[in-house]
Amino acid sequence: MKERAVLDVSRLPLHGMGSASVTWWGTLGFMLLEGTGFALVVAIYLYLYGLAPEWPLGAPLPDLGPGTWLTGILLASLVPNSLVNRWAGQEDLRKVRIGILIMTAFGIAPLVVRIYEFPALHVWWDANAYGSITWVMLGLHTTHLITDLADTLVLAAIMFSRHGRNKRRFGDVQDNALYWTFVVLTWLPLYACLYWVPRL
């Protein structure tokens, strides 16, 4: 039996960026799943808050300092993150290399502040329901910070190697920038719950 080509796709690019990339769709699906997890912990927090006779339970108010510093760092990181995303779209390797180093620093800084944030809650994870949910919220977000930092470090190593010249890697940088934006934006409702809801 003789085979006949139906469509010649030899001129199509080998990779895509943004929504033309399978990885982008995978990252989007990952964010939807994780966003559901964040929504659930916020719902649990608010449910416990509604049931409790006082909030926080058996603990002083959490200190605003570390959480507010962390929020400021995360919001400030959106500027270089946006630039890295743009430079990756332009396939400017030199600028992407500089930007990814800056984003590595912005990935480390919140983790350093987070070390001080756990004690600033003034409650241990096993003290009561309030302690448990606040530690779960911080722990869940910390996991995402670590995950993105690891991804950023791997991308930095790739971009400074000969593989950084592969155009497909610029799409990976854009996907990482998208995920970092998600990590920053998901922190905002957690910050409001942890530090401002108890002050209502």
Is 81 in contact with 103 (CB distance < 8 Å)?
Answer: yes
pLDDT attached to residue 96 = 95
pLDDT attached to residue 144 = 95
Q: How far is the CA of 21 from the CAs of 15, 50, 80, 152, 172, in angstroms?
A: 7, 43, 23, 19, 9
What are 70's two structure tokens?
């962390």
The domain segmentation of the chain, as residue ranges, is 20-199
Is 152 in contact with 107 (CB distance < 8 Å)?
Answer: yes
Angle CA(54)–CA(45)–CA(189) in degrees, nearest 5?
115
pLDDT attached to residue 5 = 66
Q: How far apart are CA 163 and CA 167, in angstroms?
A: 9
DSSP class of residue 60 equals P
pLDDT attached to residue 16 = 64
pLDDT attached to residue 115 = 96
Listing DSSP states for 144-195 in one string gives HHHHHHHHHHHHHHHHTSGGGGSTHHHHHHHHHHHHHHHHHHHHHHHHIIII
CATH fold, domain 20-199, is: Four Helix Bundle (Hemerythrin (Met), subunit A) (1.20.120)
Q: How far apart are CA 77 and CA 42, in angstroms?
A: 24
Q: How far apart are CA 117 and CA 53, in angstroms?
A: 25
pLDDT attached to residue 165 = 77
pLDDT attached to residue 95 = 96
Q: Where are the beta strands (DSSP E) in 77-136?
A: none
Is 162 in contact with 134 (CB distance < 8 Å)?
Answer: no
Q: Which residues of the chain have pLDDT under 50?
A: none
Selection from 23, 15, 12 nearest residue 172 by Cα: 23
